[in-house]
Amino acid sequence: MNRAVVAFLAFAAGAAVPLVVEAASSAETYRQLNLFGDVYDRVKSDYVDEVTDEKLVEAAINGMLASLDPHSSYMNAKAYGDMQVQTDGEFGGLGIEVTMENGYVKVVTPIDDTPASRAGLKTGDYIIALDGKDVMGLTLQEAVEQMRGPIDSKIVVSIKREGVTKPFDVTITRAVIRIRAVRSRREGDAIYVRVTQFNKQVDSGVKQAITDLAREIGPDKVQGVVLDLRNNPGGLLDQAVAISDEFLDRGEIVSTRGRHPDDVSRYSATRGDMAEGKPVIVLINGGSASASEIVAGALQDHQRAVIMGTRSFGKGSVQTIIPLPNQGALRLTTARYYTPSGRSIQAKGIEPDRVVTQPLPDGVDPEDAPELRSEADLPNHLAGEGEEDTGPRSAQSIPDDRSQDAQLDQALALLKTLKVVDGKIAN
């Protein structure tokens, strides 16, 4: 078999020698590897245009991982570097969280105060072309790389939107995207904190926000905290654990369980409650995923907060970033998340304690509203335990006009009626 093919397969598995040994010991495995080698050699020798080894290898790896689940992927050295920068909270680009669906790039959520949000991109939009070139056939990584570029340079993004008859173009000017992951303000005598994603700045940002607003309101006058995780697509596990810990004095926060019985990790709370025993309400919707669901699930199971809104996205899988020397990194799904009570989040999401839907904007016909999708709708999604598609998912948008935010209004009204007894919400 082609030596380059053997090297590729060994590299994809993360260890060359064990894979070759396993291949030699299994006739069926060896037959499949030979099949791959035959196809690889035929493409290299006979395809109409010359193709580089790098392109074929990356495409093969991405195809293998894409067949597993929507969240496993390969990052070349550049993409891996970009990912590390993004989790630090600053990167260059348009300012959108995206995924790949049906061959096109789908907007998960525009990030606040970025070129994409100011240009009017919306959750559920499909990006079908970039600078006039169709994105069909590109990997997600390739599409993201095209959307990034020199600061102040322009890119034409072609959008297909539910309820709009024809695709339309939006010209966006690239900028340095500084993720302000935590936003806060006083709402009467309540503390309102919105977390837009879980990057490295979140825990310190939430602590600072609560401290500053409690001082402004007066510690004895604070009614409680509204933690807004709507449209938060997730991020770093350690930050989700840290935020949960800010409101819990004890007990498990989340556990992860992998393929083998001993692949179990548990994360527990330490003493200390930033809210100082005041009631907490967590707002979620169909755009709240992963780390957001960990926080909501932990506070819900411990009865430390009332979860309000609509059912969350249902991404309850753990992706481990495995660096590959001089070759980027592998993002591989290695475990599932479980709430303290043992509930699996995967493909189910978090059901709120109080279901409150966000009304559609004025003038929008319900029939023209974007179709709302969850983890369970994604092709090849990892199976959940007792998957159920129950409970409504609200439109994944937060009104720019504060006076139109019905979910927040109801949260603030409820907050006034809640009490905390022995660390638990008592209505």
The residues that are catalytic are 290, 301, 315
Cα–Cα distances (Å) from 55 to 10, 142, 148, in that order, read 17, 11, 20
**Given phi > 0 = left and psi -120 to 50 = alpha, else beta, which region is 309?**
left
**Given phi > 0 = left and psi -120 to 50 = alpha, else beta, which region is 305?**
beta
Distance in angstroms (rounded) separating the CA atoms of residues 179 and 197: 8
CA 348-319-336 angle, to 5 degrees, is: 40
Q: Are 369 and 392 in contact (CB under 8 A)?
A: no
Cα–Cα distances (Å) from 82 to 35, 173, 203, in that order, read 35, 19, 22
What six digits make up the tokens of 47? 């395809």
C-beta atoms surrounding 288 within 10 Å: 33
Q: Are 410 and 355 in contact (CB under 8 A)?
A: no
- Identify the residue whose tokens are 């709430």: 339
DSSP classification of residue 356: -
Distance in angstroms (rounded) separating the CA atoms of residues 423 and 414: 18
| Per-residue 3-state assignment (H helix, E strand, C coil) for 210-257 | HHHHHHHHCCCCCCEEEEECCCCCCECHHHHHHHHHHHCCCCEEEEEE
DSSP classification of residue 344: B
3-state secondary structure of 383: coil
DSSP classification of residue 139: -
Distance in angstroms (rounded) separating the CA atoms of residues 242 and 204: 9
